[in-house]
A and B are shown apart, each in its own frame.
Chain A
Amino acid sequence: MATFPLKIMTPDGVAFDGEVVSLSCRTINGQIQLLAKHIDLCTALGMGEARIKLEDGTTRRAACMGGMLSVLKGECHLLATTFEWADAIDAERAARSKARAEEILAQKNLDKRDLELAEARLKRALVRSSVVARKDI
């Protein structure tokens, strides 16, 4: 299978740097998948699961939230705000965070900002736990 170089960077450092067969992730426009020889592309990332397929057929999954995806001259850069490999996610913390967010959302008189914050937290927690839950597939 044809491969292409992929570099995944976060503010905390480089999370991945190497050749991959495919990359699939969630953008602001929906799920997309990139293969080798893709046209130059630039888009912003949404919140969701990212999946990369390595040359030997193994698939690695991660929770990927916010940032930017670009392909330039065949090289792919994924700049994510948060990028956590499935095996590095703290499932308990995600569950706790989800519970707390739900608790906040259950209150009636929230101002707009608190609502937004709680919603964002719930979304992050849901993405994380969904990535963890599908580990065994």
Chain B
Amino acid sequence: MAGSMKEIKLRIRSVESTMQITKAMELVASSKLRRAKERVEGSRPYFETLYQTLYDIVSTDSAFDSPYLEKRESKCRLYIVIAGDRGLAGGYNSNILKAVEADAAGSDYCVLPIGKKAVEFFERRKANVLTTAFAEAGDLSVSDCFEISRLVCQKFLAGEIDEIRLGFTQFVSMLTQTATVLPVLPFDAAPPAPGHERESLMLYEPDSKSVFEAIIPEYLAGVVYGALCESVASEQGARRMAMDAATKNAGEIIDHLNLYYNRARQAAITQEITEIVAGANAES
């Protein structure tokens, strides 16, 4: 009996130290989450206005055509996939990677993975990877996003890519994160219905086409940066939840083990008493 008591004691100790780690990770994730959330909220107005303006240009002014608007037969599709650098974040990485794979199924595609987990995943799948220069999702800055945008726009204009989609995890709330695949280019906006075309009163300097084409790379960089902010916040949110669950589970296991430990202790005591009584009886 004494042997099993020692074993249980050891297990309790090991679960306790695991619990300490998950607890610490949860705390770290929630403080990072707070910062990431502020960043998401700070960046949202910028992209919403940017998107709205582009949308307005296209939907009121159908008089120009731009290579960014033209829908080509999709021969090679590019996925920009944003996942995390580390695991232990619940379903965060696998959700987004699965969503992208399901979306890409059956078509010819290449990827630009952001985040170590995404890079590893697509390299294992032997997918056509454009570049692995942006493997660290954690320290990507605005200027990196512009670099991505420049690279991708160039390929898009050169006709190497016909369509661009962005896979990221949307930060809905502290508790909910949804993996999303968003078509980015060609820019998709409902052109004015024939017969309802109206003359835009907007003054474009120098003209709508130049403005549109100057803004598109900014827009792409903006979308990537926005998606990155959302994904980073989602990752921290998912990790916080996962670690919270792990801490709770560890607590439950410790409770169980304590019960077994006490039972074993009582059994040992009872046995000792029985032995002593039996011994005393034998002597008298």
Contacts and interface: CB of A to CB of B under 8 A. Distances in A.
Contact of B214 (A11, A28, A41): A28
Contacts, number: 75
Interface string A118-136: 0000000000000000000
A115 B108 CA distance: 34
A79 B53 CA distance: 11
B42 interface: yes
Interface stretch (B155-163, B172-180, B204-212, B258-266): B204-212
Contacts of B278: none
The bracket for how many chain A residues form the interface is 20 to 34
A11 to B, nearest CB: 5
B142 interface: yes
Interface string B28-58: 0000000000010011011101100100010
Contact of B205 (A12, A43, A66, A81): A43
Contact of B49 (A12, A40, A41, A77): A77
Interface of B is mostly: helix
B51 to A, nearest CB: 11
Contacts of A28: 205-206, 210, 214
B202 to A, nearest CB: 5
A44 B46 contact: no
Contacts of A1: none
Interface of A is mostly: strand
A42 B49 contact: no
B218 A81 contact: yes
- Output the residue of A10, A11, A66, A67 with the most chain B CB within 10 A: A11
Interface string B163-204: 000000000000000000000000000000000000001111
B92 interface: no
A43 B49 contact: no
A69 B215 CA distance: 10
Interface of B: 39, 42-43, 45-47, 49-50, 53, 57, 142, 146, 201-206, 208, 210-211, 214-215, 218, 221-222, 225-226
- Top 6 closest A-B pairs, CB basis? A13-B42, A44-B214, A43-B205, A9-B46, A40-B202, A41-B203
